[in-house]
Amino acid sequence: MAEASQTIDASGDLSILSNGALVTVESTGLLTCPTDHSLVDIEAERIVMTNLGQILTEGRSWQPGIALMGDEILLTNVGTISAGITVHGGQVDFRNEGTISGEVWLGGTVIVVNTGIMGDADLGSERVEVTNAGQMGWVLLSGGDDIYREVGQGRADMLFASSGDDLILGGRSYSYMWGDEGCDTLAGGGGGDWLFGGTDNDVLRSWGDGFSLLSGDEGDDLVSSGRGGHDHLFGGMGQDTLRGGDGQDDLSGGGGRDWLNGGEGNDTIEGGWGSDTLSGGAGADLFLFTQRSSGEDRVRDFHQGEDLIRLGRELHLVTGFSGQAGEVRIADANRIEGDRDGDGQADWAVTFLGVGALALSDFG
């Protein structure tokens, strides 16, 4: 079968349309891309390209300087590329040990190993697997059930998944992750994390010591923070499970029948809409109820003299309903009820399990 091999330097453009099985290209020296077309344009069944030098652009970073199309493509960079890279392939193996500031678009089934520096990247149209031990800009995973993992100090500025059941594992730095569609698993690393699940049933976990924001959005989600830090956990819509960590956390269930546990630390817990089960865990916890509250909530571990009930500013504690909106009464020894609209009827209620009798000192 035919095979072509070529080494290019600063001597001009390279355009190859091959009917052969394999095209091998090695780039050395300094290459400058024009603004109106790609410097390297190759179409073949199999392509192996290695950049050892510099491929720079006179235009913008999104303008393609390298355009490859084939069934199997291996593209390796150990030099510097400021031009855009566009690859259409069946199987694409992309390895970067150098610096790429141009935008990268890889289509097909894609494997990326990055130990260097990369800019923004749109990866995959079938399936993507990324191992990032370096630095990346904004990363869009456009495949199916994709995998992205950070190793050591590896990090991406922003990471967006798309459709499919994706697995995204952060490293030691802070993480910004969006799951979008599919049943995704997002795990932050050692820093403060911002994780958003999107639609469907997602798992969000943060192991960092800094401030973390985790939002399940739609679906029945599991949202948890494992260590210290002042973390904010939101369930969104659906029947969610929220678990706080060691720090002073804020938990809000949103809509649906949720289960919330603050863990250790002095936490603020709000069930939101729906009939929720609330647990403060260790520490002096604050159970918050507002005009958004609804359903029949249960508090499993209210410790009198340590935990407190906090009513929102639009609510006020009364001895009995009088037809005013926002009234809250102690209905039974361990139960409170709220009248949202002033019709004299209870619109929501909370039972504090294991409490003999609530007192005014329990509200603060």
Q: Under DSSP, is residue 362 helix (H, G, I), strand (E, B) or coil?
A: helix
pLDDT tens digits, residue range 210-248?
Answer: 788 999 988 999 999 877 778 999 999 999 999 998 889
How far apart are the C-alpha atoms of 158 and 135, rounded to whole Å? 11
Name residue 7's amino acid: T
Least confident among 52-56, 157-161, 340-344: 52-56
The secondary structure of residue 189, as a DSSP letter, is -
Give the Cα-Cα-Cα angle 179, 180, 184 (nearest 5 degrees): 45
Mean pLDDT value across residues 19-42: 76
So what's the pLDDT on residue 191?
A: 74
How far apart are the C-alpha atoms of 232 and 302, rounded to whole Å? 21
How far apart are the C-alpha atoms of 276 and 260, rounded to whole Å? 8
pLDDT at 6 over 60: no
pTM: 0.87
Q: Under DSSP, is residue 329 helix (H, G, I), strand (E, B) or coil?
A: strand
pLDDT confidence band for 61 (50 / 70 / 90): low
Give the HSE-up count for residue 148: Cα atoms under 13 Å, Cβ half-sphere. 38
The structural domains of the chain, with segments of one domain joined by +, span 3-315
pLDDT at 190 over 80: no
More confident residue, 180 or 9: 180
- Asked if residues 193 and 211 have their Cβ atoms less than 8 Å apart, the reply is no
The DSSP-derived string for 285-333 is -EEEE-TT--EEEEES---TTT-EEEE-TT-EEESS--S-TTEEEEEET
- Asked if residues 247 and 267 have their Cβ atoms less than 8 Å apart, the reply is no
How far apart are the C-alpha atoms of 5 and 67, rounded to whole Å? 17
pLDDT tens digits, residue range 292-337?
Answer: 899 999 999 999 999 999 999 999 999 999 999 999 999 999 999 9
Q: Under DSSP, is residue 360 helix (H, G, I), strand (E, B) or coil?
A: helix
Secondary element (H or E) of residue 64: strand 64-77
